[in-house]
Amino acid sequence: MNTAGPADVPARMGLDLTPFRGLRYDPDRVGSLSAVTSPPYDVVVRPDGLHHLESADPHNIVRLILPQAATPTARNKQAAVTLHRWLAEGVLVTDPEPGLYVYEQRDGDGMLQRGVIGALRLSEPAEGVVLPHEDVMPHVVADRADLMRATSANLEPLLLTYRGDGSATGTTAVIERTVQHPPLLRTTTEDGFSHRLWSVTRPADLAAIRADLAGHQALIADGHHRWATYLRLRTEHPSPSAWDFGLVLLVDTVRYPLRVRAIHRLLHRLSVPDALTALGDSFRVRRVDGPLSEAREVLAVAAAEGNAFLLAGDGAFHLVDRPSRDLLARTIPADQPEAWRTLDATVLHATLIDHIWHIPDVPEHIAYIHDTAATVAKAERDGGTAVLMHPVQEEVVRELAGQGVTMPRKSTSFGPKPATGLVLRALEP
pLDDT digits (tens, 9 = 90+) for 286-326: 999 889 999 999 999 999 999 999 999 999 999 999 999 99
Give the pLDDT confidence score for residue 1 in this predicted structure: 36
Are 366 and 265 in contact, with CB atoms under 8 Å apart?
yes
| Domain parsing of the chain, residue ranges | 17-259+415-426, 264-410
- Averaged pLDDT, 160-171: 91
* Number of continuous H segments (helices) and E segments (strands) in the chain: 15, 21
Are 388 and 264 in contact, with CB atoms under 8 Å apart?
yes
- Averaged pLDDT, 11-31: 89
Q: How far apart are alpha carbons 423 and 20 in whole angstroms?
A: 11
What whole-number percentage of the chain has pLDDT above 90?
80
Q: How far apart are alpha carbons 275 and 306 in whole angstroms?
A: 20
Give the pLDDT confidence score for residue 5 in this predicted structure: 36
Spelled out in words, what is the top-level CATH class assigned to the domain 264-410?
A: alpha beta
144 secondary structure, DSSP code:
H
Q: What is the mean pLDDT of the chain?
A: 93
Segments in 152-190 forming alpha helices (H) = 170-178
Backbone φ and ψ of 224, nearest 5°: -60, -40
* 264-410 matches 17-259+415-426 in CATH topology: no
Q: Which amino acid is at 169?
A: T
Helix (H, G, I), strand (E, B) or coil at 166: coil
Q: pLDDT category, 399, cuts 50, 70, 90?
A: confident
The CATH number for 17-259+415-426, chosen from 3.10.350.10, 3.90.1530.10, 3.40.50.620, 1.10.260.40, is: 3.90.1530.10
pLDDT in tens, 383-395: 999 999 999 887 8
Find all residues with CB under 8 Å of 146, minimum gap 6, and list them: 72, 73, 76
Are 419 and 429 in contact, with CB atoms under 8 Å apart?
no
Is a pLDDT exceeding 80 seen at residue 96?
Answer: yes
Nearest to 378 by CA among 289, 267, 288, 295: 267
Nearest to 175 by CA among 121, 255, 257: 255
Q: How far apart are alpha carbons 125 and 318 in whole angstroms?
A: 39
Find all residues with CB under 8 Å of 109, minimum gap 6, and list them: none
